[in-house]
Chain A
Amino acid sequence: MAITASGTPAVVGTYVTEQGPLEGRTTSSIYVESVLGALADAGLSPGDVDGLVGAGPGNPALWNPHGVYVDLFGTPLRFYAEAKVGAGSPGAAIALAASAIREGRAEVVLVANAAGAPDMAHAGGLGADRDSAVARMSMLGSEFEYPWGTTRIADYAMYAQRHMYEYGTKPEQLAEVAVAARYHATLTPEAVMGPRGPITIDDVLASRMIASPLHLLDCCLINNGGGAYVVTSEARARSLRHDPVFLLGFGENYPFNDRHYARSLSGFDTHNSAGQALSQANLTHDDIDLAGVSDHFTINVLIELEDAGFCKKGEGGSFVEGGALQIGGRLPTNTDGGYLSHSHAGGCGVFTVIEAVTQLRREAGARQVQDATFAMLRGTGGAMQASYTAVLGRDIP
């Protein structure tokens, strides 16, 4: 197939709604606000959109997840796709959007995510009720896993136990991740936990144990909210109002599904997706100014930073010590507060992209990483059975 759009596709518009319980707000109202907000940020309108990655509001399980979007805005599409990286899907979506643009199958592709009160015929989603969300996620394992009372937290806790056993990782090191996330949340206006103020390593260790070794403050939020971003061709991106943020490299890993079959439970990068993405971007780890790493639980971040090659396997614990993940540290990570302290609303991978774009545009205000030029995103889904690496930049090396 001939490549019909030269250049490097870029994110040109982003938007984040308020985050929190959002009592009384429906999923579709949050979705519509996110879509219109991101398009307005780009200086575009729904009439410009010809591609969509990811289902419309309500996670419709039917054959036509694109139909909700088309009917909401009354704008037919010529491209639709879905990434399947769990909560990281709206992050991995950026590569599908870029591919469609490069191949000339779409010019303006939207990625949007919203979680709120159900309001449509096929409404699904986890919602902000913690008990029901935890219960639904507890049944996501295989038939040889869920009968034993597993939870999503237990899945990650078993990885953490193994990581601690193999590498001597300490609970204090896991807590560093939560401390950095909370600090960043205090600098992010819409972050759910920002108003609660900063926390210490001791606060994390003193919070109640949920699934050993993970404490309450090692676990992500469950809340409502939305966000969206818009991707277009390099040529069109350069004509729009913001500095474009380019997708420079990308890769994925799908290591296993059922944990019985996993080759490792302390590392999941079967195909060196970070190496692949950096190579495509003509960059090395030293060029990366900030990271956005799925932090459903603190252990994710240690494993992902190791798998991404920022340190050797097993050295994630010492890598994050001493505030290394905080703005001003060695590798500012999840500078909006992440899923731990900013938002874990539905397909929260959307926020990982949006925050990187905000930083690379150098519009992050009080939490701006100085001279931010390149970012690496590591998104995971489920219990890390799927992951992606994306490298974004404000320059094209």
Chain B
Amino acid sequence: MTTAIPDKPLPFRTSWTQSFWDGTKRGEFLIQRCSNCDTPRFPPKPVCSNCWSTDCREVPAAGTGTVYTFTVQYRAGVPAFANDVPYAIVLVELDEGVRVMSDMVNCDAEQVHIGMPVKLVWDPPSEDLTMYKFEPA
């Protein structure tokens, strides 16, 4: 017997984040840098946490970083991930200094560890949306 696996939940998009998702479609992972104090931030938001300036520019990140923390999931929270277990969820510190959460691919989930060097890979679930994951660097 097979059970249909539902589609994975997609990120809802806001006016703050639309240009980020436009960037991933072009193969760019955009982070924001404050125009006043240069502090980087991600996910996108309309104000700097360091100086509260609302002016910022978007710059592409290099896409490399290290695992800040992680967990290997042996039980899926929602049925859409039932076929993926065990999978590693990672919170990665990009070289630019922001943290990015995603899943690890192209490696054994149980080999993932804090400090592991990783890089971004693209994962387009549809023509309209390009998601991102991490793989070992």
A→B interface (CB under 8 Å): 134-135, 137-139, 142-154, 157-162, 165, 208-214, 258-261, 265
- Contacts of A214 on B, CB cut-off 8 Å? 71
Q: Is the interface of A mostly helix, strand, loop or mixed?
A: helix
Using CB atoms, name the residue of chain B closest to A142. Answer: B43
Which residues 30-86 in B have Cβ within 8 Å of A in the complex?
A: 42-43, 49, 68-81, 84
Say yes or no: B74 contacts A208, CB within 8 Å.
Answer: yes
Distance from A47 Cβ to chain B, minimum over Cβ atoms (Å): 45
Question: Are B102 and A148 neighbours in the complex by a CB distance under 8 Å?
Answer: yes
Instruction: Select B71's contact among A137, A212, A258, A261, beta carbons within 8 Å.
Output: A212
Query: Across the interface, do B73 and A143 meet the contact criterion of CB distance under 8 Å?
Result: no
Q: Is B121 an interface residue (CB 8 A)?
A: no
- Please give the distance in Å from B131's CB to the nearest CB on chain A: 7
Contact A212 B79 (CB under 8 A): no
Name B95-137 residues within 8 Å CB distance of A: 98-103, 114, 131
In the assembled complex, how far is the CB of residue B100 from the closest CB belonging to chain A, in whole angstroms? Answer: 7
Contact B75 A210 (CB under 8 A): yes
Closest to B8 in A: A147
Contact B74 A210 (CB under 8 A): yes
How many residues in B have their beta carbons less than 8 Å from beta carbons of A? 37
List the 4 closest A-B pairs by CB distance, nearest first: A138-B77, A151-B77, A157-B71, A143-B11
Cα(A342)–Cα(B39), bound, Å? 46
Give 30 CB contacts A-B under 8 Å: A137-B77, A143-B14, A143-B17, A145-B101, A146-B11, A149-B76, A149-B78, A149-B80, A149-B87, A149-B103, A150-B77, A150-B101, A151-B76, A154-B71, A158-B89, A159-B69, A160-B71, A161-B69, A161-B71, A161-B114, A210-B74, A211-B73, A211-B74, A211-B75, A212-B72, A213-B71, A260-B43, A260-B100, A261-B49, A265-B91
Closest Cβ of chain A to B73, distance in Å, is 5
Q: How far is the CA of A265 from the CA of B76 in the complex (A)?
A: 22
**Is the pair B69, A162 in contact by a Cβ cutoff of 8 Å?**
yes
Give the contacting residue for B77; candidates A154, A159, A160, A265; CB below 8 A.
Answer: A154
For B103, the chain A residues whose CB sits under 8 A away are 148-149
In the bound assembly, the distance between CA atoms of A148 and B13 in angstroms comes to: 15
* Chain B positions 2 through 24: 1 when the CB is less than 8 Å from some CB of chain A, otherwise 0: 00000011111110010000000
Which residues on B sit within 8 Å (CB–CB) of A157?
71
Give the shortest distance, in Å, between A168 (CB) and chain B (any CB): 13
Q: Please pick, from B12, B70, B80, the residue contacting A161 in the complex, using a CB distance under 8 A.
A: B70
Q: CA separation between A52 and B102, bound complex, in Å?
A: 42
A149-B84 contact, Cβ under 8 Å, with A139-B78, A259-B91: yes
Residues of A within 8 A of B80 (CB): 149
B42, B68, B74, B114 pick with most chain A CB within 10 angstroms:
B74
A160 proximity list for chain B (CB < 8 A): 71
Nearest-Cβ distance from residue A154 to partner chain B, whole angstroms: 5
Q: Are A147 and B131 in contact (CB under 8 A)?
A: yes
A157 to B87, CA, bound (A): 13
A205 to B69 Cα, complex, angstroms: 21
Nearest A residue (CB) for B71: A157
Find B69's partner among A137, A148, A165, A209 (CB 8 Å cutoff).
A165
Q: Which residue of B lies closest to A261 (CB)?
A: B49
- Shortest distance from the beta carbon of B84 to any chain A beta carbon, whole Å: 7
Q: Does B71 lie within 8 Å of A260, measured CB to CB? A: no
* Complex contact B69–A144 (CB within 8 A): no
Residues of chain A lying within 8 A (CB to CB) of residue B99: 259-260
* Smallest Cβ-Cβ distance to B11: which chain A residue: A143
Residues of A within 8 A of B131 (CB): 147
Given the known interface contacts A161-B70, A265-B69, the answer about A149 and B43 at a Cβ–Cβ threshold of 8 Å is: no
